[in-house]
Chains A and B, each alone.
Chain A
Amino acid sequence: MKISIARMIANLTARGRAYGNRFAWWSRWFPPAPTVDADRFQGEGDLYPDHWKEFPRPWPAGQAGGPEALPAALSALPGPWRRVVILRDVEGLPPADVSALTGLTAEQQRDVLNRARELLREGLGPAPEHDGRKS
């Protein structure tokens, strides 16, 4: 039964190379996490691969989702993401200041922002957009 322990350390071995640990034998499925769920887009066999299956639904005029929707969506964000959104979009700080305050690089804070804004956009929509297709 030591095999498994050997296996766990084998994960470490690849550390010599920068990309090594991605191949941990037991790691589950880690494609780079996309900003928008991959199943919102057409697949390889479809007519337009990588294009929207369904366009994002238009929002009704005025404030989308009611006055409480945005604070609710905001508080549902993971802490570090909420922090970046508040600094950049609510308080309107420039990227460099946000980097200094959070310890994130300019690139990292932008990656966070892109993902967080997408979650907020989803949260503001009239109804969850892809519930209909879920089983």
Chain B
Amino acid sequence: MIMKRVAAPRTLARRLLPLQIGMALQGLILWVPIEKLFMTQIGFDAASVGAMAAAYAAVVPLLEVPSGILADRWSRSRLMALACVALMVSSLLGGLSQSVLAYVIAAMILGVYFAFSSGTVDSIVYDTVVEETGSNELYERWIGRIRAVESAAFVLSALAGGVLAQYTSARFTYFATIPLIGLAIIGFLRFNEPQLHKPAERETLRSHIALTVKTMITSRAVLLVLLLTATAGLLSQAVFEFGPLWLVTLQAPAVLYGPYWALLVSTLGIGGLLIAKLHLERWLMVAVLIILSLATALVLTWTRSLPVVIAAQVALALVLALLGIHASRLLHDAVPSSIRAGVSSGGGTLTWMLFLPFSLVFGWTARDSGIDKSGFMLVGAVVILSALLVISVRVSRGTVPVEVAATAKQDAIRATQQADEMACKQLVELVADYLDDTLSPDMKARFEEHLAGCDGCSMYLKQTQQVIAELRCLSASPNGGEGVQHTAG
């Protein structure tokens, strides 16, 4: 891992502040912890909860692509604002709804919010980092910070929502959410959006997708990791979506939903911290996790004790978080960096596709034979997950991880070293280094070797030098120089 460059430009932090404020505010969805409680109050049963989850799981992937196009063509921060509007409308309709149908409509509008916001912030942060620093190296750190802010908001809203529901009503939390999201819109609109719009991106996207799909289908190792990711994701979703139904069945008081949800949500953060200390490639660790997940899933099928149910769900969620991160690390090692995000998206879509039928069947069995019986579906999925985990540990032993290149320049240097010669695509990344004479002797030799035999790159370098010469003239001419000085401040 190359993480030695610590310096983050001051302007980057200042520029991302409104975005962070917006993300914190839009994370304060107060009704989330008590949603299932409210849903039962207005007439939902387990089967209709399952049907709602399925309807919702169908909406989001459908809107993913159009929302991506909208983000590229229009404006990403405005798309975030629009997503917040959808969230406000959904909260309002949800709060007003008196029937199952009305609530399902509200849920589908919430799907619009998630489709619009998913990935949008990632790409805003990515472009901002590139615009401020010239490379994407600091991207991971900043998206990590923003996710941390967001998850802190989730935990806070979980606790606050539970308390609010206890002292007012479940319905009120929906209305109380609306002004907070309204404030988030201001944050997004105040954000100074990056201006870098590369029209060629869409063009290369198509070939990119083709390559990604090919990798997903043809490589068995990748397919295995994808299945592992999707199964862990499916189970994780199932716990978060249907877990509260256990509390509803056991008639837990409203105030309990807040801490319960906060615990559940915090397992994801704790998992992130814990994973660095655990060795999931060791059999002992794998065995512990498998036994723990099987035990907790089985406990959910027979216990009637509220504390045990909560403890089991939290433990299961934690194990699933660990496995999810582990799967993403395996994925990281299995595919080259250039198509990694695409393959991850494939894993996400696969999760949705599995979750749709799963939630329908789960809801159905929960209504007809009780939530504890449908808990056996969790057990079944855990068994499949365990099998995939065992196979993946066997497969991943002995495979050499694909090397990581965080930036285009590092990519170029690595490719040159591997191929033992420089190609045009790599040369153009190194022009500034060549002109500043900061290339290693080896790279410099390859640079010049390529230049001697390539008219295209000679032309490219000549034009770049001409640009530099003309820029230098700008400072000499009083007119141009002054105008330029002005913009420099």
Interface residues of A (CB under 8 A from B): 1-39, 41, 43, 48-52, 55-56, 58-59, 63-64, 70-71, 74-75, 78, 80-87, 89-92, 95, 102-118, 120-121, 124-125, 130, 134
CA distance A48 to B464 in the complex (A): 24
Taking a contact as CB atoms closer than 8 A, the residue among A20, A86, A109, A124 that contacts B488 in the complex is: A86
The reply on B154 being an interface residue by CB < 8 A is yes
Taking a contact as CB atoms closer than 8 A, the residue among B56, B131, B463 that contacts A81 in the complex is: B131
Residues of A within 8 A of B348 (CB): 7, 25-26
The reply on B135 being an interface residue by CB < 8 A is yes
Chain B, 145-195, CB within 8 A of any chain A CB: 147-148, 150-151, 154, 194-195
The reply on B400 being an interface residue by CB < 8 A is no
Determine whether the beta carbon of A90 is less than 8 Å from that of B474: yes
The reply on B98 being an interface residue by CB < 8 A is no
Residues of B within 8 A of A87 (CB): 488
Determine whether the beta carbon of B205 is less than 8 Å from that of A29: yes
Q: How far is the CB of A11 from chain B (nearest CB, A)?
A: 5
The reply on B276 being an interface residue by CB < 8 A is yes
Given contacts A41-B424, A112-B133, A124-B467, contact A78 B488 (CB under 8 A): no
The reply on B455 being an interface residue by CB < 8 A is yes
Taking a contact as CB atoms closer than 8 A, the residue among A2, A23, A25, A109 that contacts B241 in the complex is: A2
Q: How far is the CB of B34 from chain A (nearest CB, A)?
A: 11
Taking a contact as CB atoms closer than 8 A, the residue among B57, B134, B472 that contacts A113 in the complex is: B134
Residues of A within 8 A of B130 (CB): 33, 115
Q: How far is the CB of B105 from chain A (nearest CB, A)?
A: 12
Residues of A within 8 A of B255 (CB): none
CA distance A37 to B118 in the complex (A): 26
A35-B428, A108-B9 given. 7 additional CB < 8 A pairs?
Answer: A14-B329, A16-B273, A26-B64, A27-B123, A32-B411, A108-B5, A111-B409
Given contacts A3-B237, A82-B487, A120-B467, contact A91 B143 (CB under 8 A): no
Residues of A within 8 A of B436 (CB): 95, 110
CA distance A56 to B487 in the complex (A): 30
Given contacts A13-B269, A16-B276, A87-B488, contact A114 B325 (CB under 8 A): no
Determine whether the beta carbon of A26 is less than 8 Å from that of B345: yes
Determine whether the beta carbon of B487 is less than 8 Å from that of A86: yes
Given contacts A13-B321, A13-B324, A63-B470, contact A90 B484 (CB under 8 A): yes
Taking a contact as CB atoms closer than 8 A, the residue among B137, B429, B459, B466 that contacts A55 in the complex is: B459
CA distance A30 to B151 in the complex (A): 23
The reply on B221 being an interface residue by CB < 8 A is no
Chain B, 317-344, CB within 8 A of any chain A CB: 321, 324-325, 328-329, 331-332, 337-342, 344
Nearest 6 A/B pairs, CB to CB: A111-B134, A112-B134, A55-B456, A50-B423, A114-B432, A12-B147
Residues of A within 8 A of B407 (CB): 32, 111
Determine whether the beta carbon of A12 is less than 8 Å from that of B426: no
Taking a contact as CB atoms closer than 8 A, the residue among A3, A51, A102 that contacts B424 in the complex is: A51
Q: How far is the CB of B213 from chain A (nearest CB, A)?
A: 12
Determine whether the beta carbon of B466 is less than 8 Å from that of A59: yes
Residues of A within 8 A of B137 (CB): 108
Q: How far is the CB of B49 from chain A (nearest CB, A)?
A: 10
CA distance A11 to B144 in the complex (A): 8
Q: How far is the CB of A44 from chain B (nearest CB, A)?
A: 8
Determine whether the beta carbon of B351 is less than 8 Å from that of A14: no
Can you spell out 17 A-B residue pairs with CB atoms less than 8 angstroms apart? A2-B241, A9-B150, A9-B154, A19-B332, A27-B341, A28-B68, A29-B209, A29-B345, A38-B204, A38-B425, A41-B424, A56-B463, A70-B474, A80-B9, A87-B488, A90-B481, A108-B5
Determine whether the beta carbon of B340 is less than 8 Å from that of A56: no
CA distance A76 to B474 in the complex (A): 16
Name which residue of chain A comes closest to B406, CB basis.
A32
Determine whether the beta carbon of B53 is less than 8 Å from that of A1: yes
Residues of B within 8 A of A21 (CB): 139-140, 143-144, 147
Determine whether the beta carbon of A25 is less than 8 Å from that of B133: no
CA distance A10 to B347 in the complex (A): 13
The reply on B355 being an interface residue by CB < 8 A is yes
* Per-residue contact bits, chain B 450-465, to A (CB 8 Å; 1 contact, 0 not): 0000111101100110
CA distance A9 to B267 in the complex (A): 10
The reply on B483 being an interface residue by CB < 8 A is yes
Given contacts A18-B140, A114-B429, contact A12 B10 (CB under 8 A): no
Which of A2, A71, A112 gathers most chain B CB within 10 Å? A2
Name which residue of chain A comes closest to B126, CB basis.
A30
